[in-house]
Amino acid sequence: MNSTLKDIARELGVSVSTISRVVNNKTYVNPKTRKIVLEGLKKFNYMPNQVARSLKKQSTGTVGIVVPDISENFFTEIIKGIDEVLGKKDISIVLADSSESAQKETNYLKLLYQNRIDALILATVSKNHDALDIYNSNNIPVIFIDNMPDNDHNFDSVIIDNNKASLLAVNHLIENNHRDIAIIVGSPDETTGYERLNGYRRALEQHNIIIDEHLIQYGNYKEDSGYQCMKALIQNRKDHPFTAIYIGSEMMTYGAIKAIKEYDFRIPEDIALVGFDVHDKSGLITPGITSVRQPENYIGKTVANLVINRLKEKKGNSHMNPVYQHIVLEPSLEIRKSSNNRDL
């Protein structure tokens, strides 16, 4: 059973206020007395009542993070960046995985609010964000990453330029003599999928290449959808030929590669390939995959610093009216052998 401060004070022969000052590291306490108290706290396995402390401070020192798939390297690296910055400010993170489910995301948003988080970082999969109304009305900062809601003016965001990301990928393939370029992309109902598809279309239009709608496949960012989309493209290749493909996520890229190999096609000789967020730290993937890269760790640190600034603004000002920030970061293209020059 967790002893109270009163129990420990009685045992040590000191006042409750003295122990409280040691626990909260407040005001001066005689070094000898501090040592006695700390040893007593350890002996009695004292654990502060965080709920009571948070009610008093109007802060729990926690930030909620909701992502659609914690297994994706993209989100893992972002979370590491967030934790690296917030940890230095003694702010803890509470992580939830929505598993690409809008209902599960909503449930987590309600649960995190009930647990009195100080701020929320959200990679949304939902079209309905009514669950965020209570965050807004209670001045709890919300920062979006990856995907954006349709109505984003009441929230901060940190994303990359997804249009530019696709322009980089498709222009690279065009520069390597490809004109028949397929794409596997996420749902156009989400901002990420929509903008990556828009960049693909823009690149082709800028080079006067007619867009073949049959070469556009829509996946759900999972490996199996990349596999199924690639199979559909290959099976229809005779009527709608393509020599290169651009794939809008890491997991879909892996699925597509699996399908290409099952059909005994070679990369890049038969099908040149550019992926998205492909991580191969071991260097064991052959050939190496050309990939659009996002600055994941930097995204995380940028988000964390934005959270810290919002919490500073909120402190002592319960009716803050911030100017919301929509930070757009630059993607890059990491060129490997999967998109090698092709002589047509």
We report the CATH number of the domain holding residue 40 as: 1.10.260.40
Q: What are phi and psi of 329, to 5 degrees?
A: -100, 160
Q: Which two tokens stand for residue 287?
A: 């050939």
Residues 211 and 67 in one domain: no
Q: Are residues 156 and 168 both part of a single domain? A: no
DSSP state of 118: S
174's tokens: 């065009």
pLDDT computed for residue 52 by the predictor: 47
Contact partners, residue 173, CB within 8 Å, separation at least 6:
181, 244, 246, 272, 274, 339
d(CA 279, CA 110): 33
Say how far apart CA 86 and CA 80 lie, in whole Å: 10
Domain match, 113 and 64 both? yes
Co-location of 225 and 302 in the same domain = no
- Domain membership of residue 54 (yes or no) is no
Tell whether 182 and 248 lie within a shared domain.
Answer: yes
**Residue 139 is assigned to a structural domain of this protein:** yes
Does 65 share its domain with 125?
yes
**Secondary structure class of 286 (helix, strand, coil):** coil
Q: Are residues 153 and 300 in the same domain?
A: yes
Structure-token pair, residue 217: 């496949």
CB 192 within 8 A of CB 146: yes
Residues 218 and 223: their CA atoms lie apart, in Å, by 13
Residue 245 lies in a domain: yes
Q: Is 305 helix (H, G, I), strand (E, B) or coil?
A: helix
Residue 53 lies in a domain: no
Which pLDDT belongs to residue 273?
A: 98
CA dihedral (234, 238, 243, 245) positive or negative: negative
Those residues whose C-beta lies under 8 Å from the C-beta of residue 81, and which sit 6 or more positions away, are: 296, 297, 298, 299, 300, 301, 303, 304
Nearest Cα residue to 287 out of 303, 270, 300, 301: 270
| 194 and 273, same domain (yes or no) | yes
Q: Do 200 and 188 meet the contact criterion of CB atoms below 8 Å apart?
A: no
Within a domain: 216: yes
Q: Report pLDDT for 316.
A: 61
Amino acid code (one letter) for 19: I
Q: How many domains does the chain have?
A: 3
Residue 48 confidence (pLDDT): 60
Sign of CA dihedral 76, 77, 82, 83: positive
Residues 6+ apart with CB under 8 A from 170: 181, 199, 200, 203, 204, 246, 274
Same domain, 187 and 306: no
Phi-psi region of 128 (alpha: psi -120 to 50; beta: other; left: phi over 0): beta
Burial 8-47 (b: 16+ CB within 10 A, else e): bbeebebeeebbebbbeeeeebeeeeeebbeebbeebebe
* 3-class SS of residue 87: helix
285 and 169 belong to one structural domain:
yes
Structure tokens at 193: 């999928």
The answer as to whether 309 is a domain residue is: yes
Q: What is the pLDDT of residue 285?
A: 82
- For residue 144, what are the CA distances in angstroms to 103, 187, 195, 326? 18, 18, 16, 9
278 and 253, same structural domain? yes
Residues 30 and 65 in one domain: no
pLDDT for the residue 55: 44
Query: Within a domain: residue 344?
Result: no
The counts of H helices and E strands in the chain are 12, 12
Q: What is the CA radius of gyration of the chain?
A: 26
Q: How many CB atoms lie within 10 A of CB 240?
A: 13
340 contacts 175 by C-beta, under 8 angstroms: no
Which residues span the domain enclosing 121? 59-160+296-330
CATH number of the domain that residue 192 is part of:
3.40.50.2300
Determine, yes or no, domain membership for 323.
yes
The confidence score (pLDDT) of residue 320 equals 57
10-residue block means of pLDDT along the chain (344 residues)?
Answer: 70 80 72 82 68 55 94 93 95 94 93 92 88 88 88 81 97 96 94 95 97 96 96 97 97 96 96 94 85 96 96 71 87 94 52
